[in-house]
A and B are shown apart, each in its own frame.
Chain A
Amino acid sequence: MKSLIAVLTGALFGAGLVISGMTDTAKVIGFLDVTGAWDPTLMFVMMGALAITAICTPWIIKWQRPLLAEVFSLPLRTEIDARLVGGSALFGIGWGLWGYCPGPALTALTYGASSTVVFCVAMLAGMGLSDLLDRRRDG
């Protein structure tokens, strides 16, 4: 049952990304091109998603436990630090540069372009680099 939920939610997410236009880098760059030919369409993706999460999340996390797990695994940190802001800034730069954020990049692998494979490998390397940096600092 857990496996079914994981596959199903993944599939809904992937379908949503494709249908909404988030895997279309020209649209993404058009959405971020506020100073040029701004295309606000993708704003409605966020609105469509938030309309559901903003209403359901507060209700669901009041349950004693999720339906198929012992506990809710939610982020506990609350501090606004340089790591959060700096990381998000670097992510924004990369997002605007090529037009993929992580979900659409992975989903777009199915379009079969080699440049998307290159992007995704670099993305995983970037994630690994961050972990490596943390391990060096800690150890």
Chain B
Amino acid sequence: MDFPTLPLIGGALIGTSAMLLLAGLGRVAGITGICWAAVSGPDRGWRFLFLAGLLAGGVVATELLSVPVPEIPEGPLPVAIAAGLLVGFGTRRGGGCTSGHGVCGIGRQSRRSIVATGVFMAFGVISVFVFHQVLGVMS
């Protein structure tokens, strides 16, 4: 493994973004919450702008820094649908995802977020083992 310069820098940018949002608007940078409330309300405005920025920032980073576009997963569409449903339903039930719980919540030393992050990491590991190692769903 090379020294993880890009993961560290990318992570630091994510952390900085979360802190600017907290300091500026007093909001948690949880993508699940922002994404769902941008659709269903309330307070759609800033959330919609945040998501527009999210996509734009991704494009700018890809183009300006020539970050290679990663390979797109090539599994069957029913798998994409099942995974999307699980991610959407699960994050909404659990009150957050990798950003809201993992980055912001743990940074706030929230017990709920520490538990949630441990659980979704553990089930992510189990899921990869079962679906990719044992069942090979993507092939």
Contacts and interface: CB of A to CB of B under 8 A. Distances in A.
Interface of A: 2-3, 5-27, 29, 32-36, 39-54, 56-58, 60-61, 63, 65-75, 77-80, 83-103, 105-111, 113, 115-116, 118-131
Interface string B28-55: 1101100110011000011101111111
A118 B31 contact: no
Interface in B81-98: 81-95, 97-98
A44 B125 CA distance: 17
Contact of A115 (B80, B93, B110, B124): B80
B138 to A, nearest CB: 9
A80 B10 contact: no
Classify the interface of chain B: helix, strand, loop or mixed.
helix
Contacts of B97: 91, 101-103
Given A10-B51, A88-B94, A126-B88, A24 B71 contact: yes
Contacts of B23: 56, 60, 63, 66-67
Interface residues of B, number: 109
Contacts of A100: 83, 87
B7 A45 contact: yes
Contact of A127 (B28, B91, B111): B91
A46 B102 contact: yes
Given A14-B55, A20-B6, A126 B87 contact: yes
A87 B117 CA distance: 11
B14 A48 contact: yes
A96 B127 CA distance: 5
B92 A130 contact: yes
Contact of B57 (A15, A35, A56): A15
Contact of A92 (B15, B85, B115, B127): B127
Nearest to A70: B26
A90 B22 CA distance: 28
Contact of A6 (B25, B55, B82): B25
B62 A118 contact: no
B83 A97 contact: yes
Contacts of A65: 26
Contact of B89 (A34, A90, A115): A90
B19 A57 contact: yes
